[in-house]
Amino acid sequence: MNAATEPLAQLKSSMSDLTPIVYIVDDDISVRESLEALVASAGWRPEVFVCAEDFLTHARKAAPGCLVLDVSLPDLNGLELQKQIGANQAELPIIFITGFGDIPMTVQAMKAGAVEFLTKPFDTDALLAAIEAAVARSRTELAQDADLQLLRKRLESLSRREREVMELVVRGRLNKQVGAALDISEITVKAHRGRMMKKMRARSLADLVNMAARLQLPTAHER
């Protein structure tokens, strides 16, 4: 492991040890307090907010978690907040709670990526199960993101020639064909290929192709 990748590897390995954070946004103080106590009793870390604006200005930590979000909020409502969070919902799954949910609202929220939509008064066990599933999803997304960051760092560590060799190899080119394309000898190709495989920590060609696909590099199927 080199110095460039070590911090990311440590982040990934410690992810499972971090206490999940459950963010709660609800303008009803009684709901906030009851949810805060429930979340804490389940072993998660609650962080509560009165409105969407307070949540948006809060610096979130790099830890698995989810957002328990009331639909009806002053100023910026829950569905509007969901839109602002956008693509980050994969890392911070949203569980909606509402006192007057309807089918169109539920469909809109679920299509936009919400993992659950519960109507008040909701069943405590149902909410805890939803939070547990959301936290597991968040943990998986964060681990995958850490993996991708590691791959990007490894790719950046390649020399220009090593990257050229990699890009041709994952497209299915043989060493001889790579040499002809780059105007270098087959022996030189093998040397660059060996160093590239070591830096990428690829155990096989199939492993390297999978890495290239995750890095969105062209592979043999995309020539």
14 lies in the same domain as 100: yes
With contact defined as beta carbons under 8 Å apart, do 199 and 158 qualify? yes
Name the residue with higher pLDDT: 16 or 117.
Answer: 117
Question: Which domain-ending residue is among 122, 150, 178?
Answer: 150
Token pair in block for residue 190: 């093998």
With contact defined as beta carbons under 8 Å apart, do 54 and 23 qualify? no
136 lies in the same domain as 163: no
Q: Residue 71: which CATH number?
A: 3.40.50.2300
Q: How many domains is the chain built from?
A: 2
Give the residue-averaged pLDDT of 19-42. 95
Residue 102 pLDDT:
65
With contact defined as beta carbons under 8 Å apart, do 113 and 94 qualify? yes
Question: 3-state class of 23 per DSSP?
Answer: strand
Residue 108: pLDDT band (50, 70, 90) is: confident
Give the residue-averaged pLDDT of 35-63. 93
Residue 15 pLDDT:
56
Q: Give per-residue pLDDT as tens, 158-170.
A: 999 999 999 999 9
Question: 3-state class of 98 per DSSP?
Answer: strand
Name the residue with higher pLDDT: 162 or 74.
Answer: 162
Lowest mean pLDDT among 3-17, 50-64, 198-212: 3-17
Question: Which domain-ending residue is among 129, 150, 171?
Answer: 150
Residue 221 pLDDT:
52
Statement: residue 146 has pLDDT above 80: yes
Residue 42 per-residue DSSP state: T
Helix (H) or strand (E) holding 55: helix 52-57
145 lies in the same domain as 204: no
Question: 3-state class of 3 per DSSP?
Answer: coil
Q: Give per-residue pLDDT as tens, 171-221.
A: 999 999 999 999 999 999 999 999 999 999 999 999 999 999 999 988 765
Statement: residue 1 has pLDDT above 50: no
Residues forming beta bridges with residue 25, ordered by sequence position: 49, 69
115 lies in the same domain as 190: no
Residue 145 lies in a domain: yes
Give the residue-averaged pLDDT of 24-31. 94
Segments forming the whole domain that contains residue 106: 6-150
